[in-house]
Amino acid sequence: MKTPNSTFLHFMMKLKHYNRQPNGVVMTRQNFSLLEKRVFYIVMNQISEADAEMKQNKYFKIPAKLITNNYRQILAMTQSLMRNCQIWLRNDEEQEFSAYNVFSSAKYSAKEAIFEIGVSYEVLPHIAKIKSGYTEYELAIALSLNKTYSQRLYEILSRWKNFNGGSWSEIAVDELRELISATEDTYDDFGQFKRRVLDPSQEEISAKTDLTFTYKIHKTGRKVTHITFLIVTQESKALEELQEIREELGKMSMDDRWKYFQERMQAYDFTKSQRNKIIQEEELANRFINADIEIQAGKRSPTNPTAYIAVILGFNESGKVKKAKNG
């Protein structure tokens, strides 16, 4: 018989690193609490495109510790989840909409530490099909977020991070509030919306995820009516830092470049023989500098930087340089 820990480890090994969520689902109104959204993330991770053709509900077993270990919290979440978890697919231009209750049933056993959830066959075609476009985000990052609005903004910003130069342009404040379910009357005042929704989400997303964002407000008269989000990913930040380092090197004198080169060599555990080869051969020196800059900028994060650069330089175990293959 499997122990709870072995069951948990087996489940974790089956999970995919990334979720792929249809863009239509990302960019529609959802009504999930923090814990309900965690259930949804784990369900999405296990759904495949083949599930879109199912004519019956599908069931998933989730280790409770991925949601919460608190029985009262699981009970309250389930009561809300069965009543309120909906996805709305709207086309206001055509005056059409569809609304679906996502989950069909729920069970929990503290003895087994397992939460079982059923997903309605009616909603499966809408959350399983990704051929028309999908948003990819890291499951572990999404599960780590502790604010409902951070969860939704992380999904949505992940949708737009690789488009329009990382800009999500001029969304109406009212539309944004509805999209992330920040529809309380108190958020009608933009100052309250900024202090209680945007800024806390910005802080948590920047601290915990693979992207950061800033936003610009746009006014109609004296009222803030639209927002533009500017998204920066870790990769784009690395590319900016790469360019900055290269520009600084380009401004240096030959003597300063030599000093810089010598200092950077000290950051790695090359043998004396290997260092002499790098210094004496211009091609190796250039390869070293390029690899070192990428590591400094965060574009590359090898576990063993010295071994990583040694491979790039073509060093074999004896310290000799391998001949590069033609072509």
DSSP per position, 230-273: EEEEHHHHHHHHHHHHHHHHHHS-HHHHHHHHHHHHTTS---HH
Stronger pLDDT, 287 or 137, i.e. the higher one: 137
Query: Cα–Cα distance between 274 and 310 in angstroms, integer?
Result: 9
| Tokens of residue 307, six digits | 């071994």
Cβ(103)–Cβ(117) below 8 Å: yes
Averaged pLDDT for residues 294-320: 76
The CA–CA distances, whole Å, from 303 to 79, 153, 297 equal 46, 32, 15
> Who has greater pLDDT, 243 or 294?
294
pLDDT, tens digit, 9 for 90 and up, residues 14-68: 888 899 999 988 988 888 899 999 999 999 999 998 999 999 999 999 998 888 8
Q: Is 274 helix (H, G, I), strand (E, B) or coil?
A: helix
* 170 pLDDT higher than 50: yes
Task: Find out whether 295 and 307 touch, Cβ atoms under 8 Å.
Answer: no
Of 95-109, 231-245, 274-288, least confident by mean pLDDT is 231-245
> What is residue 322's predicted lDDT score, i.e. its pLDDT?
44
Query: Among 112-126, 135-149, 199-213, 284-298, which stretch is predicted with the lowest mean pLDDT?
Result: 284-298
Lowest mean pLDDT among 108-122, 183-197, 283-297: 283-297
Report whether 210 contacts 141 (CB < 8 A). Answer: yes
Q: Are strands 86-91 and 134-138 parallel, antiparallel or unpaired?
A: unpaired
Percent of the chain topping pLDDT 70: 89
Helix (H) or strand (E) holding 216: strand 211-220
Mean pLDDT value of segment 175-204: 92
Mean pLDDT on 108-123: 91
What is the reported pTM? 0.69
**φ/ψ of residue 118, rounded to 5:** -105, 135
Measured at the CA of 144, the angle between CA 142 and CA 150, to 5 degrees, comes to: 60
269 pLDDT above the threshold of 50: yes
Reported as a pLDDT band with limits 50, 70 and 90, residue 280 is confident
Per-residue b or e along 264-300, where b marks 16 or more CB atoms closer than 10 Å to that residue's CB: ebeebebeeebeebbeeeeebbebbbebbbbbebeeb
Residues 6+ apart with CB under 8 A from 220: 226
Measured between alpha carbons, how far is 33 from 147 in angstroms, rounded to an integer?
A: 9
Greater model confidence, 278 or 2:
278
More confident residue, 236 or 301: 301
At residue 68, the pLDDT reads: 87
Q: How confident is the model at residue 325 (pLDDT cuts 50, 70, 90)?
A: very low
pLDDT of 281 above 90: no
Q: What are phi and psi of 250, to 5 degrees?
A: -65, -25
